[in-house]
Amino acid sequence: MIVMGDAMMASIRAAAARIQADAEVLARPVAAQESAADEAAADGASAGGFADSLRDVIREVDAQDRLAAEKMEAVDSGRSDDLVGAMLASQQASLSFSMLMQARNKVVGALDELIKLQL
């Protein structure tokens, strides 16, 4: 069983919620998207919200991968004897990457559906 920190789980849940909400917007017909864009502009939402969220999630996944690599390197070189911590960090990084790829696949699928829409 993989133990994840509360902060990490909260950030993953928040990112997944943002991605799901943006994917739902992408799946709407064009007229509905225009009205959603008008509502977002009225609420003062930033135009780069999705891109910024995605960039933040990618940076977090990269940071987890680098941390796992550093821990594994420390164990391999003998500077640390925390093999369990290194393996947990490696599994967390792997799980985060898998979740990122699943979210990416959902967004790409939504874009494919948008392309298939007949106007």
**pLDDT of the residue at 109:** 92
Cα–Cα nearest to 58, from 22, 91, 93 = 93
Residue 80, SS3 per DSSP: coil
Mean pLDDT for back-to-back runs of 10 residues, the chain (119 residues): 57 67 56 53 58 89 94 93 92 93 91 86
Tens of pLDDT along 69-87?
999 999 999 998 999 999 9
**pLDDT score for 43:** 52
pTM of this prediction? Answer: 0.56
Is 21 within 8 Å of 40 (Cβ atoms)?
no
- Domain residue extents for the chain: 6-116
What pLDDT is stored for residue 37 in this prediction?
54
